[in-house]
Amino acid sequence: MALVPMRLLLDHAAENGYGLPAYNVNNMEQIQAIMRAADETNSPVILQASRGARSYAGENFLRHLILAAVETYPHIPISMHQDHGNAPGTCYSAMRQGFTSVMMDGSLEADAKTPASYEYNVQVTRDVVNVAHSIGVSVEGELGCLGSLETGMGEAEDGHGFEGALSHDQLLTDPEQAVDFVEQTGVDALAVAIGTSHGAYKFTRKPTGEILAISRIEEIHRRLPNTHLVMHGSSSVPQELLEIINNNGGKIRETYGVPVEEIQKGIKCGVRKINIDTDNRLAITAAVREALFAKPDEFDPRHFLKPSIKYMQKVCSDRYQSFGCAGHGTNIKQVSLDDFAAKYAKGELSSTAKKAVTV
């Protein structure tokens, strides 16, 4: 089977009340770990790549690695998603590369650093939606800026993000504005700002409602019950992985991520896509440090890459199960981009429709 539109997976998740982890990928081992976990748990898959990942791996290498996953696991529906597209051109180039879903992050200007106006965000996101939907590609938008409610600062990861002070309003998505944004742009999914951020250093203490605003998701979901919501920066930063890293020469300071139980609350309130990258990076780093520390004379990369796949697979399997998507992979009828383009053209896939479309 070919890659499928992300909207197909999100609609199924909404109809069955679960969430989908969306894993960032850069290399073969990461893709192998994710796919082994998906096969083990029978879960649908979102593989996403940032601009940095596309540059690091090389466009053709990355595309063929993901196509290899499709060929190896034809029974598992897979969507290929562009994470944090900084401008329409980035999204269009991703579509040409075969991505079946793109994120137009108009919360920042094209430099991926400067907070953008609401009008700019609406315009560029709507432009991308018009092009993408004409060929069946799904679109995620973002409203509000990723950053810390604890410090009031934005953050940058992989060259994307505002580094500096942000107002409270910028750090939290406005529910009424979210309604207007979805109506004006027609996005398939909306990433919301609730105090999460990229990277390992999300919170200095276990997060509470004061610094992790899950309640804001509830407010948005009440107003947009049929819009698929997205949580960015949602790695949980497992403490056992930090311990392995630091016991084997690492120096990661005390830090906390987004608790799985808080994500589960979000899933009950319309969150369908949960972005995870740091947890898998930590799993790889823990395995590599542990293996090299145990056998410092070893120089075969397979010696530490094999356990990195194993450690990452465990993280992914845990997330598939805790987010409720385990067992659903083969229940999804795989549908082509052409079929979705026809649905968009007929107006069957409006995010503001009263009833979710059954596919």
Cβ count within 10 A of residue 89: 11
Specify whether the CB–CB gap between 117 and 165 falls below 8 A: no
CA dist 197 and 170 (Å) reads: 13
CA dist 319 and 186 (Å) reads: 29
User: What are 134's two structure tokens?
Assistant: 């004409």
189-192 and 138-143 as β-strands: parallel, antiparallel, unpaired? Answer: parallel
83 catalytic? Reply is yes
Specify whether the CB–CB gap between 330 and 78 falls below 8 A: no
Q: With left for phi above 0 and alpha for psi between -120 and 50, is residue 136 left, alpha or beta?
A: left
Query: Could you tell me the sign of the dihedral formed by the alpha carbons of 166, 48, 105, 224, in that order?
Result: negative
Q: List, in order, residues 6 or more apart from 216 with CB less than 8 Å away.
A: 172, 173, 175, 192, 194
Query: Could you tell me the sign of the dihedral formed by the alpha carbons of 316, 317, 318, 324, in that order?
Result: positive
Which of the residues 11, 39, 83, 297 is marked catalytic?
83
CA dist 92 and 33 (Å) reads: 29
Q: Which DSSP letter does residue 235 get?
A: -
- Maximum Cα interatomic distance, the chain, rounded to a whole number of Å: 63
CA dist 136 and 139 (Å) reads: 10
CA dist 159 and 112 (Å) reads: 7
Would you please indicate which residues are annotated as catalytic (active-site) residues?
83
